Structure 1
Amino acid sequence: MTIETSNPEDISEIFRLYQLATEFQKIKFRGNIWPVFDQDLIKTEIKENRQFKILIDGKIACIWAITFNDAQIWEEKDKNDSIFIHRIATNPDFRGSNFVKIIVDWSIDYAKKHRKKFVRMDTCGQNDKLINHYKSCGFDFLGMRKLKNFSELPLHYHNADVCFFEIELE
């Protein structure tokens, strides 16, 4: 298993995994599901080395993105002191591998190298199983609320209840 930045050749697989994740969300969660993401967003993340993948035997097993600013979601807590994890999508062939814990451990190291104080993540909707899973991976659950300003965010954030998670680094 290796963790690498994604590259332009991965775009079709990234969108395939997003589509499969969305189909899984429809079955499992029945709440806010991911929209079709803008290809320019993914291209920008790749260009800025913010889109990552876990490779197992040459296959993309999981993907995610990070950002260093997330003001519309985190509002006053966004003080350029965090990395924010977004859009974890697992290849169904590798489901059950606890990639979230692997991503959390990687994110903690990444954040420390970039002198950040927090690793943060959010998810939409009241999903107790997912909340507990994220807590078991090391996150503190900070609660849920509606966003004040979601105009620049993907559709699944619009009028959604958003759950907030954080790991404070030493």
Structure 2
Amino acid sequence: MNIQNSTIEDVDAIFELYKIASDYQKKKSVVTWPDFESALVLAEINEKRQWKLLIDKKIACVWATTDSDPQIWQKRNEDPAIYIHRISTNSEFRGQHLVEEIVKWSKIHAIETGKKYIRMDTVGENMGLINHYTKCGFEFLGLSKLSNTINLPAHYQNATVSLFQITV
């Protein structure tokens, strides 16, 4: 396994993984991701905040990070944290504990960048994801009703989110 920044050459693969994730969400009858803007992903790649995990030179999963997420984390955003978004797994690699690998990487990345927390959110009260993420080491902090969602993707509009955190 190898984790590295995604590149411009990965854009098509990233969007294919988003489609796979969205199709999977539809089958599970949970909140489905919208079509994300390519400008968002290109900005993340240029800012070195879009990541990929490679297995045998194939992209097994992707995710994005940010150092600030005020619309979701509100007052807690003042804490030094990295925020993980849009983990998308290639179905060929599902069941291989890739979130646990992301957690291991995130702990090192957080320490290297002076962060105290690793944080994630999911839209809604998805018990399957809550159980999965807590098994991967995240503490489930509960639900939070979002109030200012103007600049967030469509699935966050008028949403309640599940919040997760790991203290480094």
TM-score by length of 2: 0.98
- For this pair of structures, how many residues does the alignment match? 168
Letter in 2 for 1:136: K
Q: Shift of residue 55 of structure 1?
A: 0.7
Q: Is the 8 A contact 1:68 1:80 kept in 2?
A: no
Instruction: Tell me how far apart the structure 1 counterparts of residues 79 and 8 of structure 2 sit (CA, whole Å).
Output: 27
- Where does structure 1 differ by over 2 angstroms across 4 or more consecutive aligned residues? none
1:152 aligns to what SS in structure 2? coil
Task: Look up the match of 2:14.
Answer: 14
Q: Shift of residue 145 of structure 1?
A: 2.0
Instruction: Tell me how far apart the structure 2 counterparts of residues 32 and 151 of structure 1 sit (CA, whole Å).
Output: 18
Q: Shift of residue 146 of structure 1?
A: 1.3
Instruction: Tell me how far apart the structure 1 counterparts of residues 128 and 12 of structure 2 sit (CA, whole Å).
Output: 30
Task: Look up the match of 1:24.
Answer: 24
Q: Is the 8 A contact 2:100 2:136 kept in 1?
A: yes
Task: Look up the match of 2:61.
Answer: 62
Instruction: Tell me how far apart the structure 1 counterparts of residues 142 and 79 of structure 2 sit (CA, whole Å).
Output: 21
Task: Look up the match of 1:48.
Answer: 47
Instruction: Tell me how far apart the structure 2 counterparts of residues 19 and 141 of structure 1 sit (CA, whole Å).
Output: 27
- 1:1-170 alignment runs, 5 A limit: 1-28=1-28, 30-79=29-78, 81-169=80-168
- Over the aligned positions, Cα root-mean-square deviation in angstroms equals 0.8
Please list every run of 5 or more consecutive structure 2 residues that lacks an aligned counterpart in the other structure: none
2:78 aligns to what SS in structure 1? coil
Please list every run of 5 or more consecutive structure 1 residues that lacks an aligned counterpart in the other structure: none
Identical pairs, percent: 50
Q: Shift of residue 80 of structure 1?
A: 5.3
TM-score by length of 1: 0.97
